[in-house]
Amino acid sequence: MSLILGDGDYRYRVVEDWAKLPDGWEFRDVAGVAVDSKDQVYIFNRGEHPMMVFDREGNFLRAWGEGIFNRAHGLHVGPDDALYCTDDGDHTVRKCTTEGKVLLEIGVPGKPAPYVSGEPFHRCTHTALSPDNHIFVSDGYGNARVHKYTPDGKLVMSWGEPGSDPGQFNIVHNIVADDDGWIYVADRENHRVQVFDTNGKYETQWNNLHRPCGLFMPRGKCPHCFIGELGPGMPVNRHMPNLGPRLSIVSNEGKLIARLGGKEGLVNEPGKFMAPHGLAVDGHGDIYVGEVSYTNWPASFGDKPMPKLLHTLKKLEKLP
């Protein structure tokens, strides 16, 4: 029997084992997910085949990225279907075609900027495009900055510093932009999403979140924002209910619309979330959730053995 998450207008059927992988292949930490204009689904993961592409039914189409990427982290698809692949292990952002040809590279592969220097990049995490095609990069694990680039990769400006005040960050983990040009930043360890204009001016912040990790905002007027919350990781609260891991759907003003999962605390069962990290929504309203369970397991469960059941990708099929 299929598991149903959510209620009202936001009910989803969990589709486990959606992706039909070639024999002997596997996902290893699905860090990023994107859907192009043809509803082809791109899975950016940390296994032997970094980018795997599927049709909407989960049929395998192709793979690429071997020998290019060090550690998959963020994935964004532009209006022309170009893919922006953020590699936090290599400190780079690469713009690629749907077949894997590299069109643009920002950052110096394998050469991070000094830790918390504010200079790009030190373990950058994600990429977003504003309506005028400026490139915004969240940076990330070894910095506390957002960088703005021209469409051809020239640095325009940067903002942010370590801290918890408005405009400061404690692991700037993800970033999206809407059609009005507002920039939304997942400030993960400050438990909030901050909102800025395209010049880095602070506007507001969304709270009532627990370690927001993944963001997805479809284009269009007044879109909803889909937020993957990593949930607690400290031993003192890792099994606390109502903190996640979960998915939250909010308005572009931060009002909570729906919440999927997370009521039971951290539970390793089919249909439950373990570490929602990469998110995308297709043209039918179905949600694709990439999880980094292999990476998050030690931080979440201490010395317990690696479980047999690990969740790396889920399709949530929207019900009528």
The CATH number of the domain holding residue 137 is 2.120.10.30
More reliable by pLDDT, 302 or 60:
60
d(CA 271, CA 302): 22
State which amino acid sits at residue 172. V
120 is written with which tokens? 């790009």
pLDDT per residue over 30-62, tens digit each?
999 999 999 999 999 999 999 999 999 999 999
Given phi > 0 = left and psi -120 to 50 = alpha, else beta, which region is 39?
A: left
pLDDT at 2 over 80: no
Which whole-number Å values give the CA distances from 15 to 46, 60, 72, 162, 306, in the listed order? 22, 16, 24, 39, 23
Per-residue pLDDT reduced to its tens digit, 204-247: 999 999 999 999 999 888 789 999 999 887 888 888 999 999 99
pLDDT tens digits for range 185-216? 999 999 999 999 999 999 999 999 999 999 99
pLDDT digits (tens, 9 = 90+) for 103-150: 999 999 999 999 999 999 999 999 999 999 999 999 999 999 999 999
Q: Which domain holds residue 297?
A: 4-318
Calpha distance 155→178 (Å, rounded): 21
Mean pLDDT (the chain) is: 93
| Cis? peptide before 169, omega within 30° of 0 | no
Number of domains in the chain: 1
pLDDT bracket for residue 267 (50, 70, 90): confident
Percentage above 70 pLDDT, the chain: 96
Q: pTM score > 0.85 for this model?
A: yes
pLDDT band at 159 (very low <50, low <70, confident <90, very high): very high
Nearest-angstrom CA–CA distance, 218 and 104: 24
